[in-house]
Structure 1
Amino acid sequence: MLKALVAIVILAAGKASRMGAGGKHKLLAEFGGVPLVRRSALTALGADATSVIVVTGHRRSEIEAALDGLALTLVDNPDYASGMASSLMAGFSSKRVDGADGILVMLADMPGISTAHLNALIFAFRNAGGGAIVRAVSQGKPGNPVILPRSLNHAVLRLEGDVGARDIIATSGLPVLDVDVGDAACLDVDTPDDIVAAGGAMKN
């Protein structure tokens, strides 16, 4: 049996409205001297995936500069202010996901997610023959990343507003496999305090 192929879509387009009035961008915060968005991309590039797509929007030129030199595909979402649905749609519409049996949706602001976590999700997806939704959980609490089979593409392309994969999971009718990756599944950084607590340093 051929193994199911997975493409990774990283969502990095949001406005980060909870970062406060200073205008600093959380995805440019540095962890170990590396901007968070680049760290997330490197994590994805190390995984057993066919391609990595990064959806940009807010402060696109700075995000793209932070990703300079990496072997990934950049997709601009000019409609990013409307919410996460538009970024999912932009990523799923990329030609680079063609041929993949599943798409792993990864949020760029989750510093705890490792390549090993991604590979564990991909392994579970392949074991299920590519027909199940796979999501990261922490002690049973749903988190991210999530792998969506290609059969859900039409559902993704019908999303509107600030909704993500959770709404699709609830209504898909497909089996859902939970993979416990520990605290990393629910650790995202939305405020300057979150970034410092996670070991990062605010930059610009």
Structure 2
Amino acid sequence: MPKISEAQRQARRDQISQAAVEQFAARGIHSTSMANIIDASGLSSGAIYTHFSSKDEIIAHVARTTVSSVFSRLEEILNSDPLPRPELLITLITERIAQTNVPTGFIVQVWAEAVTNPVVHNAANEVYAEAFEFFREYVVLWLSTGGGLDPRQARAQAPRRARLMISLIYAHILQTPLIDSHNTCDFVNDTGDLFTVLTR
């Protein structure tokens, strides 16, 4: 039997993940069975279980890869001169979230699942840690270049402001599928004002 390359393995995992997300979005996480995912993927059950041992593992995988895709190449921003203002960075990230293949409604379902499901809970915490580390590093640079603080002061203030930026993005994700009147443009504009007020 010929060996499967890493690229082929990843492509198959992506195929399964996309089928699962479509089912989760249409049926909800709890109402979606592995049989539903298998049917939607067009693969055999053996092929599915070769890559994922359970529905929980698929959910965790999608949560991790979605955030990685949003933050990929954002590290380049940390080397830009000048750095974008915080509200502009949040704008960029909300735009990237909208461009992913994962509906924000699924992300909200993942958060709900993470409350009681240890596998998904761990994935949600890994996702948060990745986002937090990026924002913490950004805020240190922002405060020490555009904010007029010395590096020590910037590092001391960075965690609080990083958490605030993540909270604003999470608020956007939560409101998008739940609030019919939610408008991304208005949210982004209001975010700039709110961030300025809360970080004085």
Q: Tell me the TM-score normalized by structure 2.
A: 0.27
More RCO (CA 8 Å, sep 6+): 1
Q: Tell me the TM-score normalized by structure 1.
A: 0.26
